[in-house]
Amino acid sequence: MECEGMETQIGQHAIKPAERMTGLPTQFFAKLVAKANAQMAKGRDVINLGQGNPDQPTPPHIVAKLQKAATNPLYHRYPPFSGFPFLKEAVAKRYKEDYNVDVDPATEVAILFGGKTGLVEISQCLLNPGDVCLVPDPGYPDYWSGVALAGAEMRFMPLTADRNYLPDYSAIDEETLKRAKLMFMNYPNNPTGAVATSAFYEETVAFARQSGVVVASDFAYGAIGFDSKRPISFLQTPGAKEVGVEFYTLSKSYNMAGWRVGFAIGNPQIVSLINLIQDHYYCSLFGGIQEAAAEALTGPQQCVADLNATYESRREALFGALERIGWKAERPGGSFFCWLPVPEGHTSESFADLVLQEADVVVAPGVGFGTNGEGYVRLGLLTSEARLIEAVERIGKLGLF
């Protein structure tokens, strides 16, 4: 419903939002969606590569489990506040099998309403006004939202191609380190597609121990790695659970974005804080969804391997088309995103606007992920190979490369 024209007063008194509402960052991608929708409203055949919404259906065995579980009267009542133990046990089983990480399901797993929720909540759990959070630049913009809601401040860690999009901890000044309490990192990376190394994670644990900064590892794309290289979990690093937690979601691994199931895994005190704040917000997920999520984690994993192969095949199709038009870029090592430099003479936004207006292709301007994203656009491997190739060919006809 449109809100235009609605009263914003109670009698003679204006309704004033809380300061935390006016301090929230602008949702950059809402503007991107509006531009794309305006073009589609004209009847244009728009190829949307700008968003991160998985395009494949949830595997049938997971859907079937939900259909059956929905009839269980137990799940028609309130679930336990922190979730059913069987789902936490399923998380622990998956981490043991995939990463050889031992997880105590009772104390080291928090069930989340999607990974995004936990990434916002952890700032509210750990940060006070005046505290500093270290945030990657470019990085996932919703990190900013949690920091703003906590009334804390951000300090950006530049991610650049010459460092393989890994932050340089030695470049963080002493004053920032004194006030820093939390740090976000994300590999495989959104938006760059970069992957982390064991050596980098070891350096991260050492940095956290020395500085006292809590590490929040966003592992949303942990199942998507290319060239026969499985992405590494931060929790595989000795000492990782001492200094932080990892956030995992079923959205990408199992095409369950709309199901809203995620987890925080690791340090028991931080997990306890997340459970506590969620006690005040929610009453956990519908039990049928929790049972289906457990099926995803403990059932056949061929669907995950097949999905990974699909994304790798799409990556190759896309980069083959890019090479044919002369658009040079580095292949991503993981995630379903590609990070491409814009042609000379363009900003990320001017290029994105041009290809939308002239080629009916949506790409995400890199500046939406931070100032160090300027000069790049992000493309998602979230449509068929044929449509990916067509999108590149349309852009190629503009003669920019």
Domain of 174: which CATH number?
A: 3.40.640.10
Determine the pLDDT at residue 16.
85
Output DSSP code: residue 24: S
Same domain (yes/no): 43, 170: no
Determine the pLDDT at residue 113.
95
Half-sphere exposure of residue 153, counting CA atoms within 13 Å on the CB side? 10
Same domain (yes/no): 276, 310: no
Task: Please give the tally of structural domains in the chain.
Answer: 2
Identify whether 27 is part of a domain: yes
Determine the pLDDT at residue 3.
44
Same domain (yes/no): 287, 167: yes
Domain final residue, candidates 298, 318, 352: 298
Domain final residue, candidates 238, 269, 298: 298
Same domain (yes/no): 162, 106: yes
Q: Which amino acid is at 250?
A: L
| Domain of residue 377, residue span | 14-57+303-396
Q: Are 394 and 324 in contact, with CB atoms under 8 Å apart?
A: no
What string of DSSP letters covers 226-281? -TT-PPPPGGGSTTHHHHEEEEEEHHHHTT-GGG--EEEEE-HHHHHHHHHHHHHH
- By DSSP bridging, strand 109-112 and strand 262-266 are antiparallel
Identify whether 358 is part of a domain: yes
Element at 110 (helix H, strand E): strand 109-112
Same domain (yes/no): 52, 111: no
Determine the pLDDT at residue 31.
81
- By DSSP bridging, strand 132-137 and strand 109-112 are unpaired
Look up residue 19 and give its two tokens. 């300061």
pLDDT 10s digits, 62-83: 999 999 999 999 999 999 999 9
Determine the pLDDT at residue 17.
85
Say how far apart CA 42 and CA 358 lie, in whole Å: 13
Domain final residue, candidates 298, 314, 332: 298
pTM confidence score: 0.94
Domain of 366: which CATH number?
A: 3.90.1150.10
Identify whether 64 is part of a domain: no
Q: How many residues does the chain have?
A: 401
Identify whether 9 is part of a domain: no
Helix, strand, coil % in the chain, rounded to nearest 5: 45, 15, 40
Look up residue 266 and give its two tokens. 């690791």
Cα angle 236-242-247, degrees, rounded to a multiple of 5: 60
Q: Are 213 and 167 in contact, with CB atoms under 8 Å apart?
A: no
What string of DSSP letters covers 310-372? HHHHHHHHHHHHHHHHT---PPPSBSSEEEEEPPTT--HHHHHHHHHHHH-EE-EEGGGG-GG
Say how far apart CA 164 and CA 136 lie, in whole Å: 13
Determine the pLDDT at residue 5.
44
Identify whether 139 is part of a domain: yes
Identify whether 216 is part of a domain: yes
Determine the pLDDT at residue 127.
98
Per-residue pLDDT tens digits of the chain, which is 401 residues long: 344 444 577 888 888 888 888 888 877 778 888 888 998 899 999 999 998 889 999 999 999 999 999 999 999 999 999 999 999 999 999 999 999 999 999 999 999 999 999 999 999 999 999 999 999 999 999 999 999 999 999 999 999 999 999 999 999 999 999 999 999 999 999 999 999 999 999 999 999 999 999 999 999 999 999 999 999 999 999 999 999 999 999 999 999 999 999 999 999 999 999 999 999 999 899 999 999 999 999 999 999 999 999 999 999 999 999 999 999 999 999 999 999 999 999 999 999 999 999 999 999 999 999 999 999 999 999 999 999 999 999 999 999 99
Same domain (yes/no): 142, 278: yes
Give the other-Cβ count within 10 Å of 111's Cβ: 26
Say how far apart CA 139 and CA 157 lie, in whole Å: 10
What string of DSSP letters covers 172-240? S-HHHHHHEEEEEEESS-TTT-----HHHHHHHHHHHHHH-PEEEEE-TTTT-B-TT-PPPPGGGSTTH
Determine the pLDDT at residue 22.
83
User: What's the burial of 325, exposed, middle or buried (CB within 10 Å: 0-12/13-18/19+)?
Assistant: middle
Q: Phi first, then psi: give them for residue 60, nearest 5 degrees.
A: -60, -35
